[in-house]
Chain A
């Protein structure tokens, strides 16, 4: 469905702000009200009761707005009448107990409200900005893959891996090297072939499959890159992190070491491939149409399919194998895991290997969606961490959901007039701050 309300008039900036801010808040208030009515979350303070009463007083206003619209009023009038009062009310009334809770370190803030926010936001996006929603879902899938790796590392090793974005980019470039063996030549702009043999030499590796812009060579290169990256991650762990572990370093030291490594990786990319952004293939990027007026690039279909397959594999690995159970046990309680005879060194090695594979696949898919660019790695940390934190650090399923939340939010938000596309990662950051303020343990995180 393109839009249930027919041709939409050009919305003014305030209506857009209202949509962005108002719709989620609106949903939050209703969720709270619903919870209070069904008794799940008893009304605890006078301000909650005030909220409930005022809300019911607002219902006539709401209905009035709808009627006015039905009898020829503008859409803007409808939105202003229905949403703005809620925005103000929630800001004033609902915000008050929040601040109190913050002061008392209480992070148990309305779970239902947040989920409702997300759902309503996605619906609003589906109605008004379904192109951005499509891109958001594709990007969300990529972010989710990266974030799952990030959250695994965090769960098992307990530190924030700041080299995650840059290693994604590095492995994307490794795939590029495997694919056609090219690095930057002696002079700026020139190119040299480094590898004597490369994947594109395989028969038919370059000819495009279906509507994709690439042949099976890219898939082979991606899988090879995954293996290499897994090895690289394990190697780095042996050389750097394991030594720090042996010295019982503070987690903060690990974070700084990973920042150092991030810059090493970025420099390696620049040394080998230079600062020019690149694409895997010069092939045509076909657009395919789906029902409900949705269209997307063929390559994006591949991204979604690949992400789905990888997710399924990781799910099986984490929840159906002994190794995965040990990993999750270690994330939950490392001391207990050690006592119960889990070989922590082996688990750590496997965690890096699995995360390495996820890093490589996410990196290649990202480069397929956008391009290969050394600059992208570091800022990519923002959506990755936002996704992992939204899902609750250490929780792989949460990170998966978080990836989509962040991907969709940042794509949809920048379609509004007052946010230029350059702010994409800033939106991810806003999501991150919001979740840290409202519910620092993430949507699905356990209370610590």
Chain B
């Protein structure tokens, strides 16, 4: 049947390659803080702990944002088997919606964008609403906008073969990029938006903001992780996994395939919107050049495949490991490698990502962390309780 790639069920005993893969990935994971130490030497005259800490924090901020997007993709692809090759669209929409809501009115000759409602949200000065309300509103709006867009895309295409949706998502990503670039009045075109306000940004020094940011993003990631775990390890998630394994059989079990697929697609897109929102806060500047197919769609696929689709922890681990490798290759650029390699390093990274996806598919389809054995948390609990209870008399 069709599930051989995705399922732990077929693993009959561990192969040496499993150990090697796990060892390599674990090694990288542990090495990343040390890479941070090395990296900090590039920025500072000689490496020190403070530099390492600073670099590692900045690294974790990015990982946090990317983990959100990978988690979102996991809901769509890892659980419901819905392909989204246009993560970019929802990511970008979330980021831009956040920026135009939180920023003040456009100023200067070369900036032009709609919105700029940040200043209007000082509704109750006594509660200092302008300090937190814009961010809450903006992140919620980002999620809603991305979810709405996903619904619009899903409606005509989700009933059809799964690859039609994949094509449609590439299309929506292209349209999103084009609209941002061409419609200058909307979000300032290819000049991009800078100075996006950061939540609680004025209570710490700008250069120290990442330490606060890593906490904020950490909280968001943890919240969304638990919300998703709750959702997928329930009958809802069971239907989703059913859809991924065999859509027709799930339909024959009386499930409304279209409704469940739409839910997973829209939920995933909304989380991508939140990810975009966090991106806007973390980097404070947006430009259409930053949202390339490689960087805003493909890298999340690589992260999910490496981490293990169908496992939320795997999604986060994948974001950590892949971004760690990315950073590692950045460090290699600092060494004397000769101009030939030096000038091609950025492209070699893209090549490695592509090879990683194909390699994972061929060699280790389960990724770093395979899917859990029991879907429903309730079943898991019940079976565990049974195990811990004294064994019943053996059945004949």
- Inter-subunit contact A423/B182 (CB<8 Å): yes
Closest residue of A by beta carbon distance from B81: A252
B298: which of A255, A263, A271 is its contact (CB, 8 Å)? A263
CB distance from A27 to the nearest CB of B (A): 22
Q: Write out the residue numbers on chain B whose beta carbons fall within 8 Å of the beta carbon of A266.
A: 294, 350, 354
CB distance from A190 to the nearest CB of B (A): 9
Closest residue of A by beta carbon distance from B340: A186
Distance between Cα atoms of A271 and B6 in the complex (Å): 33
A432: which of B167, B346, B347, B361 is its contact (CB, 8 Å)? B167
Stretch from A9-17, A239-247, A306-314 forming part of the interface with B: A239-247
Contacts A244-B361, A426-B178; A440 near B160 (Cβ below 8 A):
yes
Distance between Cα atoms of A278 and B354 in the complex (Å): 25
Distance between Cα atoms of A30 and B112 in the complex (Å): 45
Q: Write out the residue numbers on chain A whose beta carbons fall within 8 Å of the beta carbon of B4.
A: 247-249
Distance between Cα atoms of A187 and B365 in the complex (Å): 39
Contacts A259-B298, A270-B347, A436-B156; A382 near B358 (Cβ below 8 A):
no
Distance between Cα atoms of A264 and B182 in the complex (Å): 29
Number of B interface residues in the complex (CB < 8 A): 51
Q: Which of A175-197 contact B (CB under 8 A)?
A: 184, 186-188
Q: Mark B35-61, 1 if CB is under 8 A from A, else 0.
A: 000000000000000000000000000
- Inter-subunit contact B171/A382 (CB<8 Å): yes
- Inter-subunit contact B182/A378 (CB<8 Å): no
A240: which of B1, B170, B174, B362 is its contact (CB, 8 Å)? B362
- Inter-subunit contact B362/A437 (CB<8 Å): no
Q: Write out the residue numbers on chain B whose beta carbons fall within 8 Å of the beta carbon of A250.
A: 2-3, 5-6, 81
- Inter-subunit contact B170/A436 (CB<8 Å): no
Chain A interface, >50% SS class: helix
State whether the Cβ of B353 lies closer than 8 Å to any Cβ in chain A: yes
CB distance from B135 to the nearest CB of A (A): 32
CB distance from B17 to the nearest CB of A (A): 15
Distance between Cα atoms of A71 and B237 in the complex (Å): 69
B358: which of A260, A271, A381 is its contact (CB, 8 Å)? A260
Contacts A186-B339, A264-B355; A247 near B5 (Cβ below 8 A):
yes
Q: Write out the residue numbers on chain A whose beta carbons fall within 8 Å of the beta carbon of B122.
A: none
Q: Which of B1-48 contact A (CB under 8 A)?
A: 1-6
State whether the Cβ of A90 lies closer than 8 Å to any Cβ in chain B: no
- Inter-subunit contact A426/B163 (CB<8 Å): no
State whether the Cβ of A127 lies closer than 8 Å to any Cβ in chain B: no
Distance between Cα atoms of A186 and B344 in the complex (Å): 9
State whether the Cβ of A420 lies closer than 8 Å to any Cβ in chain B: yes
Q: How many A-B contacts at CB < 8 Å in the complex?
A: 145
Distance between Cα atoms of A379 and B164 in the complex (Å): 16
State whether the Cβ of B248 lies closer than 8 Å to any Cβ in chain A: no
Q: Write out the residue numbers on chain A whose beta carbons fall within 8 Å of the beta carbon of B305.
A: 256
- Inter-subunit contact A255/B166 (CB<8 Å): yes
Q: Write out the residue numbers on chain A whose beta carbons fall within 8 Å of the beta carbon of B338.
A: 186
Q: Mark A356-396, 1 if CB is under 8 A from B, else 0.
A: 00000000000000000000001101100100010000000
Distance between Cα atoms of A265 and B350 in the complex (Å): 10
Contacts A160-B166, A271-B347; A263 near B354 (Cβ below 8 A):
yes
Q: Write out the residue numbers on chain A whose beta carbons fall within 8 Å of the beta carbon of B1.
A: 248
Q: Write out the residue numbers on chain B whose beta carbons fall within 8 Å of the beta carbon of A378.
A: 170, 293
Distance between Cα atoms of A440 and B293 in the complex (Å): 27
- Inter-subunit contact B361/A267 (CB<8 Å): no
Distance between Cα atoms of A422 and B81 in the complex (Å): 33
Q: Write out the residue numbers on chain B whose beta carbons fall within 8 Å of the beta carbon of A248.
A: 1-2, 4
State whether the Cβ of A261 lies closer than 8 Å to any Cβ in chain B: yes
Contacts A249-B4, A432-B171, A437-B156; A188 near B343 (Cβ below 8 A):
yes
**What are 30 pairs between A and B in contact, CB < 8 Å?**
A186-B339, A187-B339, A243-B362, A248-B4, A249-B4, A252-B83, A256-B301, A263-B298, A264-B354, A264-B358, A267-B348, A267-B350, A267-B351, A271-B344, A271-B348, A379-B174, A382-B167, A382-B170, A382-B171, A382-B174, A385-B167, A389-B167, A420-B182, A422-B182, A425-B178, A426-B178, A429-B174, A432-B168, A436-B156, A437-B156
Chain A residues within CB distance 8 Å of chain B: 105, 159-160, 162, 184, 186-188, 240, 243-244, 247-253, 255-257, 259-268, 270-271, 378-379, 381-382, 385, 389, 420, 422-423, 425-426, 428-429, 432-433, 436-437, 440
Can you add 20 more A-B contacts, CB < 8 Å, to A162-B166, A260-B301, A436-B160?
A105-B159, A186-B339, A244-B361, A253-B365, A259-B298, A262-B354, A263-B353, A263-B354, A270-B347, A271-B347, A271-B351, A382-B170, A389-B164, A420-B182, A422-B178, A423-B178, A429-B172, A433-B157, A433-B171, A436-B157
Chain B residues within CB distance 8 Å of chain A: 1-6, 81, 83, 85, 156-157, 159-160, 162-164, 166-168, 170-172, 174-175, 178, 181-182, 293-294, 298, 301, 305, 338-340, 343-344, 346-348, 350-351, 353-358, 361-362, 365
